[in-house]
């Protein structure tokens, strides 16, 4: 009996320690959470998630479990989590117009939205978000009220635009329109250039016209190559709207090529079409066609960014078994690492070496990957498992 008591005490101590290190989420109803927030005079932090959302899972595993995050959020908020596709979550999603996941709602005891944001945040950034939510001068609700009362200070408008892009996308265009009307200088900072680009919905709208009119100044900030890349991306959205059926995943080759050739040229338009069909084949699990197209699209790996090469190399690692295909993937992974050595691509390189039977190089790159992963605060458990299997 004494032995059991000691084990129980140890268990309770571990549980208490674990709770102190993690965000403590309430398990009661939304109505009860509102009442608790009102009685304790605290804001509610509500994590609006879904079971299939990747960034939601990353937040739950890598951020909500951190001691510093738990210390801050447990002190300043009543914390709650609801799956937006189940139970009360459905009503919450409808009431607060939650369409992106994860969405973070900061509410008062009356259920009013004081602040909100979306997406994955690193631990420190997530604490910064909480600090913004409790700061009356930075709360989205207060900032929006300032705007509605007529505040058109450019610095204020820029900050509001940044927040509203995540907090209320439907309101974002009003803010950006006001900002560019109030903007006094002709030059663009990088953030201003990105704000303008983010405001463009289609070729021909007022923001695209400004993008074209201010090409000289924007090219100084984005570089001429960067400006052209952005312009092509905007125009490509128009091509996709005309030539691609999102429901059936069917592509009208004739329309796609005729429209894309206008700004990409014949060769690049054909490459772009092949890349699109490659992605469709992967989605449809037609891996034979996917490999065939990938070998064509990635014929010259130096023309692609490190992240793109890592993605295609990893997909080959998972889906391809023939030696020739894996050796091509290894080539892509090497170029990816050469361009930018990171945890993800070094892990890919280690796995490819192992699959090709070269455990000596697999071990070298697995060790390097784990080292980089620790520095980047990544979960390196899968790479550690690989390394262990090589010993």
If you search the block for the tokens 């709360």, which residue do you land on?
139
Separation of alpha carbons 239 and 117, rounded Å: 31
pLDDT score of 6: 45
Residue extent(s) of CATH 3.40.30.10 domains in the chain: 22-135
Q: β-strand 113-118 against 77-83: which pairing, if any?
A: unpaired
Q: Which residues are catalytic?
A: 53, 56
Separation of alpha carbons 244 and 247, rounded Å: 9
Per residue of the chain (391 residues), what is the pLDDT tens digit?
Answer: 333 444 443 334 434 434 444 999 999 999 999 999 999 999 999 999 999 998 999 999 989 999 999 999 999 999 999 999 999 999 999 999 898 999 999 999 999 999 999 999 999 999 999 999 999 888 999 999 999 999 999 999 999 998 888 888 889 999 999 999 999 889 999 999 999 999 998 998 999 999 999 999 999 999 999 999 999 999 999 999 999 998 899 999 999 999 999 999 999 999 999 999 999 999 999 999 999 999 999 999 999 999 999 999 999 999 999 999 999 999 999 999 999 999 999 999 999 999 999 999 999 999 999 999 999 878 899 999 999 999 7
Separation of alpha carbons 205 and 161, rounded Å: 18
Rg (CA), the chain: 25
pLDDT score of 9: 39
pLDDT score of 378: 83
Residues 91/146, Cβ–Cβ less than 8 Å:
no
Quick one: tokens of 300? 């010259």
Burial class (CB in 10 A: 0-12, 13-18, 19+), 366: buried
pLDDT score of 377: 79
pLDDT score of 166: 81
- Return the CATH number of the domain spanning residue range 300-391: 1.25.40
Quick one: tokens of 175? 């803010």
For the chain, the average pLDDT equals 91
pLDDT score of 297: 95
- pTM confidence score: 0.71
If you search the block for the tokens 């009996």, which residue do you land on?
1
- Report, in this order, helix, strand and coil percent for the chain, each rounded to 5: 70, 10, 25
pLDDT score of 147: 96
Residues 50/85, Cβ–Cβ less than 8 Å:
yes
Quick one: tokens of 102? 């994860």
pLDDT score of 5: 42
Strand partners, 331: none
- Return the CATH number of the domain spanning residue range 22-135: 3.40.30.10
Q: Kindly report, residue by residue over 300-336, the tens digit of the pLDDT.
A: 999 999 999 999 999 999 999 999 999 999 999 999 9
Residue extent(s) of CATH 1.25.40 domains in the chain: 300-391
pLDDT score of 330: 97
SS3 380: coil
Which residues fall within 8 angstroms of residue 287, CB to CB, at 6 or more apart? Answer: 281, 319, 320
Quick one: tokens of 275? 């890349």
């Amino acid at each position: 009996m004494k032995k059991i008591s000691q084990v129980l005490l140890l268990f309770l101590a571990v549980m208490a320690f674990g709770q102190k290190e993690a965000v403590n989420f309430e398990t009661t109803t939304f109505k009860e959470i509102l009442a608790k927030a009102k009685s304790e005079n605290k804001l509610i932090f509500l994590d609006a998630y879904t079971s299939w959302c990747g960034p939601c899972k990353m937040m739950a595993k890598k951020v909500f479990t951190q001691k510093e995050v738990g210390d801050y959020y447990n002190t300043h908020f009543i914390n709650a989590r609801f799956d937006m596709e189940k139970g009360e979550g459905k009503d919450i999603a409808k009431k607060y117009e939650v369409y992106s996941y994860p969405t973070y709602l900061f509410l008062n005891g009356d259920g009013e939205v004081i602040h909100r944001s979306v997406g994955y945040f690193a631990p420190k950034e997530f604490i910064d978000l909480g600090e913004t939510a409790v700061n009356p001068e930075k709360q989205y609700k207060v900032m929006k009220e300032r705007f509605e009362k007529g505040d058109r200070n450019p610095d204020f408008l820029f900050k509001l635009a940044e927040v509203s892009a995540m907090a209320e996308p439907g309101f974002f265009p009003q803010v950006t329109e006001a900002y560019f009307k109030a903007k006094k200088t002709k030059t663009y900072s990088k953030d201003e250039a990105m704000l303008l680009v983010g405001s463009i919905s289609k070729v021909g709208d007022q923001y695209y016209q400004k993008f074209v009119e201010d090409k000289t100044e924007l090219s100084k900030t984005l570089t001429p190559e960067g400006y052209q890349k952005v312009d092509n991306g905007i125009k490509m959205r128009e091509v996709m709207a005309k030539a691609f059926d999102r429901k059936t995943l069917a592509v009208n080759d004739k329309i796609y090529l005729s429209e894309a050739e206008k700004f990409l040229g014949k060769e690049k338009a054909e490459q772009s079409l092949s890349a699109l069909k490659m992605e469709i084949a992967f989605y449809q699990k037609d891996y034979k066609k996917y490999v065939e197209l990938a070998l064509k699209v990635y014929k010259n790996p130096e023309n692609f960014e490190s992240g793109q090469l890592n993605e295609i190399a990893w997909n080959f690692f998972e889906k391809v078994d023939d030696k020739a295909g894996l050796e091509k993937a290894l080539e892509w992974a090497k170029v990816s690492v050469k361009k930018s050595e990171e945890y993800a691509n070094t892990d890919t390189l280690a796995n490819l070496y192992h699959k090709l039977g070269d455990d000596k190089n697999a071990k070298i790159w697995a060790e390097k990957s784990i080292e980089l992963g620790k520095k980047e605060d990544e979960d390196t458990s899968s790479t550690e498992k690989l390394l262990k299997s090589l010993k």
